[in-house]
Structure 1
Amino acid sequence: MLVTGKEILQKAHEEGYAVGAFNTSNLEMTRAIIEAAEEEKSPVIIQTSQSAITYAGSEEIAMIVRQLAEKASVPVALHLDHGTDWDVVMKCLRDGWTSVMFDGSKYEFEQNIDITKQVIAIAHPMGVTVEAELGKIGGVEDHVKVDAKDATMTDPAEAVEFVEKTGVDYLAIAIGTAHGVYKGDPELDFDRLKDIKSRLNMPIVLHGASGVAEEDIKKAVSLGVNKINIDTDLRQAFQRAMHKVVKEKPDVYDPRKMLQPTSEAVKEVVKTKIRMFGSNDRV
């Protein structure tokens, strides 16, 4: 069943678990994510980045996700990840996304508030819920690139003001994670997370979770993270499975036979993350 992001995340917030938000760009990955969620009896959020939309086409990727989601036995939200382009956000609203992120973290605080409010003013009457970001998360993810020197932690007081002025449904905060592949072990600011959660009492989002130690993920969930974004881990699983097929079965040229192992690899990662986040058996 296709639902809004808030329908999934509000329940996670109230009951103290997190839901995985997994990035997709094609049929195989989408099917693998939903099958994993169904087997684990977990709600799930399927995300598309702006570059995935450019790759697959907005209407095309929306049709794939929506068709599979509407047949699914678990709640599924279709979410725009890191929407930095106004036109892309608006097109996603028109094409049937049930949740969008406007990422205004590159702007000054007041401008981030103003644009986020404009997005919400359009999205909410359409029944679409909205995520925003406060603070700057380092690293590289598709078109989003923030140098380590420019990454900044989310200020708790600013978070309160931001939510009060925008009415955003869930907030992505910066507590030390980064997009892409980590070169060392990230040090998460759990005290900052705890402070922000206690002040806001709303669903909190953690970006850059691929590669973060399981114990740190579980601690973040225990302190109030309710949406956890996973992209790099899925891509790496896909890559490893594809390389194995090419190496061990060089004569195989049927795309279906080449892609099936990648789907299974992605599915196993999703199932592992679902259990780690505590969203299994929540449907």
Structure 2
Amino acid sequence: MPLTTTGELITEAAAARTAVAAFNIITLEHIEAVVAGAESAGAPVVLQVSENAVRFREGRLLPLARAATAAAEHATVPVALHLDHIQSDALLRRAPDAGFGSVMYDASRLPYAENLAATRAAVDWAHAQGLWIEAELGQVGGKNGMPPLDAHAPGARTDPDEARAFVADSGVDALAVAIGSSHAMTTRTAALDHTLLERLGTALAVPLVLHGSSGVPDDELRLAVSGGITKVNIGTALNIAMTGAIREHLAEHPDAVDPRKYLAVGREAMAQAVARLIGVLSAEPARTPAEHGA
């Protein structure tokens, strides 16, 4: 089927009080695995290309974008294409022609006023192009000569009152909130602040997004979805699955030289991880936030 948009998937998920899984892709095998896993789970999915992934591709956006579009067209479930964690305005402006229906513009490293101004300008441009746009807001430093605090730095949290003003003044369609997760975690030990999530859900009328979800345990993910998270970003979990499977295969076949053999193993491991994580997001939480002690 043709590409859908992240905005459409988020709207449907919000109405059903569930969440859309959004997976970061780096290779063709990532794309194939995410689509296969989503089809196995019978659920829609978002394919995300980050600015880092574009940099890895030596600045070329179209190879991954074209491959993702082709995979979506042959998929049996809805697939959206999202440009993730974009700091470059030049890259942002390449999104529509490359087939992206949404972008996450990341100015969260900047002091609040600069973040807001940059995001507002990005929103105005993106909306004029018909793009759905997500931003991020965490605890912002910059006081007393201290540098701004990245939204996923240890201890960073999104302030509900600041978030309410930021959303109203920027016009973003969704907000990634800092409630205890962190990017690139290889252990699933993150503890989310569910009380803060409840306050953010009350304060904001836009969908809430959880980044750094690879480090969040299953029960915490389920609680986050039941607490109002509508889009869940996952990247490192796929890389762990792929790398682990390939390492095991090469250990068992030390003379292997054909990359198709071990890439197929890695692709299958990622597909299984995708299907499992989508299942986690659609399951009922084992505990309520009150029982969790938040």
Q: What's the TM-score once normalised by structure 2's chain length? A: 0.87
Q: Which residue of 1 aligns with 2:134?
A: 131
Q: Which residue of 2 aligns with 1:107?
A: 110
After superposition, the C-alpha distances for 1:200-244 in whole angstroms (9 at most, x for unaligned) are 132110011112111111111100001111111111111111101
What SS does the aligned partner of 1:22 have? strand
Change (3 A) 1:136 1:64: farther
| Contact 2:198–2:228, Cα closer than 8 Å, also in 1 | yes
Tell me how many residue pairs correspond in the alignment.
Answer: 272
Change (3 A) 1:64 1:185: same
| Contact 1:82–1:101, Cα closer than 8 Å, also in 2 | yes
| Contact 1:16–1:224, Cα closer than 8 Å, also in 2 | yes
After superposition, the C-alpha distances for 1:93-115 in whole angstroms (9 at most, x for unaligned) are 33221110101111122221221
Q: Which residue of 2 aligns with 1:275?
A: 279
After superposition, the C-alpha distances for 1:12-44 in whole angstroms (9 at most, x for unaligned) are 112111111111111111011011111211110
- Runs (5+) with no aligned partner, structure 2: 141-148, 284-294
Q: Which residue of 2 aligns with 1:46?
A: 47
Partner AA of 1:66 in structure 2: T
- Alpha-carbon distance between aligned partners in 2 of 1:209 and 1:200, rounded to the nearest angstrom: 21
Residue 249 (structure 1) aligned with residue 253 (structure 2): yes
Deviation at 1:150, TM superposition (A): 6.5
Q: How does 1:68-83 map to 2 (within 5 A)?
A: 68-83=71-86
What SS does the aligned partner of 2:124 have? helix
- Alpha-carbon distance between aligned partners in 2 of 1:257 and 1:188, rounded to the nearest angstrom: 39
Residue 178 (structure 1) aligned with residue 179 (structure 2): no
| Contact 1:62–1:96, Cα closer than 8 Å, also in 2 | yes
Q: Which residue of 2 aligns with 1:141?
A: none
| Contact 1:80–1:99, Cα closer than 8 Å, also in 2 | yes
Change (3 A) 1:133 1:269: same
Change (3 A) 1:149 1:38: closer
Q: Which residue of 1 aligns with 2:145?
A: none
| Contact 2:238–2:273, Cα closer than 8 Å, also in 1 | yes
Give the fraction of aligned pairs with identical amino acids, expressed as a percent. 36
Change (3 A) 1:92 1:198: same
- Alpha-carbon distance between aligned partners in 2 of 1:148 and 1:223, rounded to the nearest angstrom: 20
What SS does the aligned partner of 1:210 have? helix
Q: Which residue of 2 aligns with 1:230?
A: 234
Candidates 193, 196, 203, aligned match of 1:192: 196
Q: Which residue of 1 aligns with 2:97?
A: 94
